[in-house]
Amino acid sequence: MSPDSHSSGDAAPGLSPISALIFGRGSCWGSMEEMNDKRLLGTAFPGDTGETSPEVVAVMRSYAAGRATQADVLTTLAAARVLVPVVAVLGEVEVDEAGLAHDKTSDMATVLLTGADGRQALLGFTGTASLQAWQADARPVPVSLRDAARAAVHDGADALVLDLAGPVPFAIEGDDLHKVAEGWQLATVGPRTAWVRP
C-alpha cells in the first residue's frame, strides 16, 4: 500500500471524527516540545503518555502467537485509545526574489494507504512508539477505537490498519469495521462470538 495524505480541510458540518477533533474543537496537540515530552493533549484521555496499554500489548502478543482471536483483540481495543497520525502536507509555495521556493501554507492531514487493488485504509497506532517507528514526525491524535473506525468509514476507507510498522500489525475491515464504527459490541456465547447492539 502506498501512503496518501487525506486533508481534513476546514471546520465544517459533516467533519469526520478526527477532523472534528483537529478543527472543530481546537487543536489536539501542543508545541513540538510538549510532544517530545510525550504529553498528548486531548480532553478524552487526560494524562495519556502515549504508551501502549499493558492489556493491548498482552493481547497483541497472544494474537501474534496464535493464542488470541481477532475477537479477543477487538474486545481489548474497544476499551483502549488509539492514535491516528496527522502529517503536514504542503499547501501553497511562494518564491522569493532569489528564486528560492518556501512553504507559504501547510495543512494537517490524516493518512490513507492505497493498496495495489485500490482499497484504502486509515492508519492508527496503539502507542507513540509504533507510530514513530512508522513516521517520526507524525503527530498523534488520541481517539477511541470507535472514533477511528468512524473516521475510516467517513473517509471511504475499506479498513483501519493498526501498527503498520509493527510490532503486530492488525487490520479491522469489512463488517467488523462498520460494527465498531456503529458502536456494536462483541459478545461471546459458548465457543462463538457475535456482534450485538449495546
Which structural domain range is residue 160 located in?
Answer: 2-196
> Which of 148, 109, 160, 152 is CA-nearest to residue 6?
109
**189 or 164, which is more confident:** 164
pLDDT reading at 11 higher than 60: no
Q: What's the average model confidence in pLDDT over 109-136?
A: 92
For residue 186, what pLDDT is reported? 92
Tell me the β-bridge partners of 94. 102
pLDDT reading at 66 higher than 70: yes
pLDDT reading at 97 higher than 50: yes
Q: Hey, which bits of the chain come out as E strands? A: 2-7, 81-90, 93-95, 101-103, 106-114, 120-124, 139-144, 159-162, 170-173, 185-189, 192-196
Q: Residue 58 — pLDDT band, cuts 50, 70, 90?
A: very high
- Total domains in the fold of the chain: 1
For residue 37, what pLDDT is reported? 41
What's at 48, amino acid-wise? D
